[in-house]
């Protein structure tokens, strides 16, 4: 059975991968430090020694921002390696990064993420651990699965969610459908900004379908397709069907034609959609 693709850098919401540094309080201090510097002697005469503290704070947080930018750049480059195309023979004239095998790509990616973890630590290290685990699946599947399992208990909410979803995908790919269903079910109970509810529900339905639990799969597919077909914009016009709603309808038709027939009609594409 073909393995399902594990979520990695290319199909994640990129903003979720960026370190949220500086924090809101750091930004305020940084802004205050810069304001003090810009106003010069007038403020120096007014608040004296406090200005020195503020300027030092401004310099410190500016330095922290530079470190954050460096870490983000390093993390981004590592992600680029992990998402590079695998081509036995590179296309002549292209500057795109390629690797001859998935194994070599994963080895290079893991080395890059380990470098990020060692140099920057903290949240960056935790994010690097996630990508190391997903790449480890190619080299040593059992080790990769264990690393993902460990990360489902991460104190970082983003990594916890992403690791649980990646683990569920891997379990589905390995034919361990009941375990995948449990993981997807847990994710469905905890809304998060990283992975949409529709994506989780569709994946859950897929696991049910593969496990032979057709009624459960059909119910989810029906709800996704129905919601997509009935969705409207603020002006009351039908929204363009999402890929999830479209695929849910197709899958529903395959496993339960009678339930598919109960769906409301699909919206007619507008001229702008064509």
pLDDT for 218-227, tens place per residue?
A: 999 999 999 9
pLDDT at 252 over 70: yes
Query: Are 254 and 162 in the same domain?
Result: no
- Provide the residue range defining the domain that includes 145: 1-87+97-180
Cβ count near 43 (within 10 Å): 16
- Strand, coil or helix: 98: strand
Structure tokens at 232: 């409207």
pLDDT at 148 over 80: yes
Query: Are 105 and 159 in the same domain?
Result: yes
Is residue 230 within 8 Å of residue 266, measured between CB atoms? no
Query: Are 176 and 251 in the same domain?
Result: no
- Strand, coil or helix: 96: coil
pLDDT at 23 over 80: no
Residue 22 has a pLDDT of 37
Number of domains in the chain: 2
Question: Predicted confidence band at 256 (pLDDT cuts at 50, 70, 90)?
Answer: very high
Question: Predicted confidence band at 270 (pLDDT cuts at 50, 70, 90)?
Answer: low
Query: Are 173 and 38 in the same domain?
Result: yes
Rounded to two decimals, the pTM is: 0.73
Residue 146 has a pLDDT of 98
- What percent of the chain shows pLDDT beyond 70? 74
Query: Are 132 and 239 in the same domain?
Result: no
Residue 59 has a pLDDT of 57
Residue 13 has a pLDDT of 40
Q: How far apart are CA 206 and CA 37, in angstroms?
A: 58
Where does 83-156 have alpha helices with state H?
102-120, 122-139, 141-151
Is-cis flag, bond preceding 22, omega within 30?
yes
Is residue 84 within 8 Å of residue 97, measured between CB atoms? yes
pLDDT for 185-206, tens place per residue?
A: 999 998 888 899 999 999 999 9
Listed residues 180, 206, 229: the one ending a domain: 180
Query: Are 205 and 169 in the same domain?
Result: no
What distances in angstroms separate CA 188 from CA 23, 130, 200, one per listed residue?
29, 21, 6
Q: Which residues contact 217 (CB under 8 A, 6 or more apart)?
A: 205, 206, 208, 209, 251, 255
């Amino acid at each position: 059975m073909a393995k399902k693709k594990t979520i990695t850098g290319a199909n994640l919401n990129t903003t979720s991968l960026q370190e949220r540094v500086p924090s809101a309080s750091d930004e305020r201090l940084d802004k205050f430090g810069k304001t003090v510097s810009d106003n010069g002697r007038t403020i120096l005469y007014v608040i004296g020694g406090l200005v020195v503290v503020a300027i030092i704070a401004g310099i410190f947080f500016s330095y922290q921002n530079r470190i954050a930018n460096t870490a983000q750049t390093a993390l981004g480059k590592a992600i680029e390696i992990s998402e590079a195309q695998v081509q036995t023979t590179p296309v002549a004239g292209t500057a795109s990064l390629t690797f001859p095998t998935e194994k070599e790509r994963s080895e290079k990616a893991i080395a890059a993420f380990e470098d990020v973890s060692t140099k920057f630590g903290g949240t960056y290290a935790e994010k690097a651990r996630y990508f190391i685990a997903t790449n480890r699946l190619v080299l040593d599947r059992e080790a990769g699965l264990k690393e993902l399992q460990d990360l489902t208990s991460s104190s970082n909410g983003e990594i916890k969610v992403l690791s649980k979803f990646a683990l569920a995908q891997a379990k589905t790919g390995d034919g361990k459908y009941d375990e995948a269903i449990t993981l997807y079910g847990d994710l469905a109970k905890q809304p998060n900004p990283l992975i949409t509810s529709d994506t989780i529900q569709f994946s859950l339905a897929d696991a049910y379908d593969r496990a032979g639990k057709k009624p459960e799969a059909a119910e989810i597919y029906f709800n996704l397709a129905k919601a997509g077909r009935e969705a409207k914009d603020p002006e009351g016009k039908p929204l363009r069907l999402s890929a999830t709603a479209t695929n849910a309808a197709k899958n529903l038709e395959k496993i339960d034609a009678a339930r598919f027939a109960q769906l409301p009609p699909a919206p007619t594409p507008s001229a702008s959609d064509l």
